[in-house]
Structure 1
Amino acid sequence: MGSSQSPEVRRRDLLGLSAAAMAGGLPLAACGGSVSPVEAGASPSASGSAAQEQEAPVTPPEDLMREHGVLKRVLLIYREGIRRIEGGEPVPAQPLNAGARIIRDFIQDYHEHLEEQYVFPRLREAGKLTDTVSVLLLQHQRGRVLTDRILRATGASATPRTGDRRELVAAMAAFIRMYEPHEAREDTVVFPVFRDVVPAKEFLRLGETFEDEEHRRFGQSGFTGVVGQVADIEKALGIYDLARFTPRV
């Protein structure tokens, strides 16, 4: 299934991206692994007395939807890879491989596992969205196939031949095209119906189950640590600055 590397090992691997950033004209400081508490989902006042207050529970849909935010950011990484390759630039293999490993470990082996174990069965039991669930499950399978192709094309032993570049671009484009509507349908249709069919007490227990599984798989930093990994890749590619995406009008 997914990579056996811990998030900490993968995060250290990303330090190697600084060399790629320097080759692209980015300052070395841009590859720093830090991410602000606000960007990682923490409140600016989450220190002192505020930190001692009991945190509001994170509901299962909120948990799944913020994980979709990680997916969206990796899709932006894939888009940048496509832009560079189609523009005749060198393949940014290391950042793309790091992004694909996050997709495999965090999205497919963890996030989609939660959906398949807890969300989709409850919808089917309730007779809700059964056709949609079947399509989503098939897309999970196809997503794994595409991720395998991206990992192979960007691995350390991969050679940047013309045919391989085309296959890599096709795999990333197909992944983006499928997962943008996939996650949008889950956020706007699947998760609201899921909330409706699950009793309130069980709903709260599921939130605790999701959090426990997150920390079991990804350590104490959990979601925040994964967001930091994504930020490292964005900085290496020069797409971390949010202002870059503001159009001139």
Structure 2
Amino acid sequence: MSDEARDNRGTPSVRRRELLSLPVALACGTAALTACGTTRPAGGAATHPPAPSAEQAQEVPVTPSEDLMREHGVLKRVLLIYREGIRRINAGEAVPARPLHAGAGIIRTFIEEYHERLEERYVFPRLVKAGKLTDTVPILVRQHQRGRVLTGRILDATARPTPQQARRDLAADLAAFIRMYEPHEAREDTVVFPAMRDVIPPKEFIQMAETFEDEEHRRFGAAGFTGVVEQVADIEKTLGIYDLSQFTPRV
């Protein structure tokens, strides 16, 4: 178990639909909206349900764009795993086939079959329909398609110990994936996802958050995103790149 998971063990799991209901709970706890939750016993004074705690009042629901951006964090961490694979190959070390295969498996199931499908089904069509980013969206879709080809080759190459003659091709595919997805995700984070608010009404934005969460737990169980992050952390530990401090330069 990673340090992040250990730190969160004492924190109760709160689903987004529970967070989205907090504004109603807050309203019901005020005198101005007594009709929300006021009970009035016969012949007695009106009573109110207890007001939410300060901690509950500070909870903010995860928005669809935030959801997609944090999933990009998973992608970034797998790109670091790919970089370590390239470093070892170029240094003449043994190919870390199993960690690379596990990382590519996360790319396939979490990024390509889940995250990108959400973008292609719910985000890109709304932007194109509104006449926004009509030049950018087709490029992003094409890059999704090319990425799936590269992932298939990486999975095949790392399914067993990589023969000497295949090392160069594997390193090239890993590098091509990194080269494409770094600008890809940066463009989505800074241009595409902010544009979602311009074309999706607030009520639909909240409903989309619920849709994303339901799909996340349907595919990845109760742990959802957190469970996937744990898998990535385990791969990083196997490769010796989990300790964040090692990336701090000496200046």
Question: What range is the shorter-chain TM-score in?
Answer: 0.7 to 0.9
* CA drift at 1:195: 1.5
Relative to structure 1, the CA distance from residue 213 to residue 52 in structure 2 (aligned partners, 3 Å threshold; closer, same or farther) is farther
Q: Are 1:74 and 1:230, in contact at CA under 8 Å, matched by a contact in 2?
A: yes
What does 1:172-211 align with in structure 2 at a 5 Å threshold? 172-211=174-213
Give the TM-score of the pair, scaled to structure 1.
0.80
**How high is the sequence identity, in percent, across the aligned residues?**
70
- The answer to whether 1:46 aligns with 2:2 is no
| Distance in 1 (alpha carbons) for counterparts of 2:123 and 2:115 | 11
After superposition, give the CA deviation of every residue in 1:169-189 in whole Å (9 maximum; x if it has no partner). 000000000000000000000
Count of residues in Structure 1 that have an aligned counterpart in Structure 2: 212
Moved over 6 A (4+): 48-52
Give the TM-score of the pair, scaled to structure 2.
0.80
| Distance in 2 (alpha carbons) for counterparts of 1:115 and 1:205 | 15
* CA drift at 1:216: 0.4
Relative to structure 1, the CA distance from residue 38 to residue 53 in structure 2 (aligned partners, 3 Å threshold; closer, same or farther) is farther
| Distance in 2 (alpha carbons) for counterparts of 1:38 and 1:130 | 44
Q: Which is higher, the Rg of structure 1 or of structure 2?
A: 2
* CA drift at 1:162: 2.8
Structure 2 residue ranges without an equivalent (≥5): 14-51
Task: Quote the residue 1:84 is aligned against.
Answer: 88
Relative to structure 1, the CA distance from residue 35 to residue 108 in structure 2 (aligned partners, 3 Å threshold; closer, same or farther) is farther
Amino acid at match of 2:123: V
| Distance in 2 (alpha carbons) for counterparts of 1:57 and 1:100 | 30
| Distance in 2 (alpha carbons) for counterparts of 1:191 and 1:47 | 29
What does 1:125-164 align with in structure 2 at a 5 Å threshold? 125-156=129-160, 159-164=161-166
After superposition, give the CA deviation of every residue in 1:87-110 in whole Å (9 maximum; x if it has no partner). 000000000000000000000000
Query: How well do the aligned residues superpose, as a CA RMSD in angstroms?
Result: 2.2
Amino acid at match of 1:199: P
> 2:242 is paired with a residue of what secondary structure?
coil
Q: Which of residues 97, 101, 105 is equivalent to 1:101?
A: 105
| Distance in 2 (alpha carbons) for counterparts of 1:163 and 1:137 | 32
